């Protein structure tokens, strides 16, 4: 840290202290920075950082996996906090050469992962105590939200897209799988990892009780009627009961401070409001 500060001083940068100008890469990282109350240090964000709405006022340096080195340097960050998988590697090499501190935040789709993310961001910002408090609070909320009595877990099919009648759905090891599990349900598709196009028959065989989708803006979303009319879906219990749940994508899949809210909302949508 001392050497870095020295270098920065020698380079005669306008920054007065280390980590004063923070660039946040990744929707959940940005949410955590705001939740920690450190948003006054943010100078820019990436395209996936769309919550809270105040973040939209910050300059956008591009998509987290396709960052351009000069674009990133143009906002003169001292500290970059980035979700795992940000890049490309060539850009990160240049940023290292420019002596910008770069912290990678681990990704994951369960309760411990949310805690680890919050703590990693708080450590990078130099506010570990506040991070521990936020992590404790979110973890407690998650524990409460996940304490659900269910008559038997519902089978949920997460559909990422229905482009041209081809359904791309979530398998295991995805954020969708993680949130479904936390909400006390089970992923109807477990035969593969990641988000994959799946056949109509596989969906029929999976027999989901509920379909879960990201909430898109008007005009981009497939209507309920069109959805349930798709041959793949028409025969499922979900179509017969017309059970579809739509939740904002970043809230649902972000695995950040709002995840307890996502769990509660999904759980309520699946099993009805609990008193």
Partner 1 sequence: MAAWSFTAVWASPGGDRQHRARAVFAGLVAVTVLVGLASLNVGATDTPALGTLLALLSGEVVELRARIVLLDIRLPRLAMGLLVGAALAVSGAVMQGLFRNPLADPGLVGVGAGASLGAISAIVLAGLLPAWAIGWTGSYTVALAAFAGGWATTLLLYRVSTRHGRTSVAVMLLAGIALAALAGAASGVLVYMADDAQLRSLTFWGLGSLAGATWAKVLAAAPLILITIFAAPFLARGLNALALGEATAGHLGIPVQRVKRAAILLVAGATGAAVAVSGGIGFIGIVVPHLLRLLIGPDHRFLLPCAALLGGTLLVAADMVSRTVVAPAELPIGIVTALLGGPVFLYILLRSRGVLDM
Contacting residues toward partner 1, per CB under 8 A: 7, 11-13, 44, 47, 59-63, 65-66, 68-76, 85, 88-91, 93-94, 97-99, 174, 193-197
- Residue 44 CB, nearest approach to partner 1 (Å): 7
Nearer to partner 1, 17 or 229 (CB): 17
Nearer to partner 1, 76 or 269 (CB): 76
Q: Give 160-166's long-range contacts (Cβ < 8 A, gap of 24+).
A: 160/195, 160/214, 162/222, 162/227, 162/230, 165/230, 166/197
- Residue 94 CB, nearest approach to partner 1 (Å): 6
- Residue 254 CB, nearest approach to partner 1 (Å): 14
CA 238, 232, 226, 235 dihedral sign is negative
CA 246 to chain centre: 16
- Residue 140 CB, nearest approach to partner 1 (Å): 30
- Residue 41 CB, nearest approach to partner 1 (Å): 18
The kind and range of the H/E element at 23 are strand 22-25
Nearer to partner 1, 55 or 122 (CB): 55
Rounded to 10°, the helix 128-146/175-182 angle is 60
- Residue 131 CB, nearest approach to partner 1 (Å): 26
CB count, 10 Å around CB of 40? 8
Helix (H, G, I), strand (E, B) or coil at 94: helix
Q: What are phi and psi of 236, to 5 degrees?
A: -85, 155
Nearer to partner 1, 66 or 207 (CB): 66
**What tokens were used for 224?**
């309920």
Name 158's bridge partners: 212
Nearer to partner 1, 142 or 250 (CB): 250
Measured distance CA(32)–CA(154) in Å, rounded: 31
Nearer to partner 1, 71 or 237 (CB): 71
């Amino acid at each position: 840290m001392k050497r870095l500060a020295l270098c920065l001083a020698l380079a005669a940068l306008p920054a007065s202290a280390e980590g004063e100008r923070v660039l946040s890469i990744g929707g959940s990282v940005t949410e955590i920075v705001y939740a920690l109350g450190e948003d006054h240090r943010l100078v820019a964000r990436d395209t996936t950082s769309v919550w809270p709405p105040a973040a939209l006022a910050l300059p956008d340096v591009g998509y987290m996996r396709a960052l351009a080195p000069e674009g990133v340097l143009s906002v003169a960050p001292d500290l970059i906090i980035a979700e795992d998988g940000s890049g490309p590697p060539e850009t990160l090499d240049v940023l290292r050469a420019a002596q910008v501190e770069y912290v990678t935040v681990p990704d994951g789709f369960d309760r411990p992962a949310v805690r680890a993310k919050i703590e990693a961001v708080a450590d990078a910002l130099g506010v570990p105590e506040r991070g521990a408090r936020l992590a404790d609070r979110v973890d407690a909320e998650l524990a409460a939200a996940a304490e659900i009595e269910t008559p038997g877990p519902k089978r949920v099919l997460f559909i990422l897209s229905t482009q041209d009648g081809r359904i791309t759905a979530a398998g295991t090891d995805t954020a969708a799988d993680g949130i479904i599990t936390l909400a006390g349900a089970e992923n109807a598709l477990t035969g593969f990892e990641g988000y994959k196009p799946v056949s109509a028959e596989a969906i029929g065989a999976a027999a989901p009780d509920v379909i879960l989708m990201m909430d898109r803006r008007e005009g981009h979303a497939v209507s309920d009627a069109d959805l349930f009319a798709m041959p793949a879906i028409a025969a499922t219990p979900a179509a017969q009961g017309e059970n579809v749940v739509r939740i904002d994508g970043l809230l649902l899949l972000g695995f950040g401070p709002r995840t307890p809210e996502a769990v509660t909302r999904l759980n309520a949508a699946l099993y009805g409001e609990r008193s």
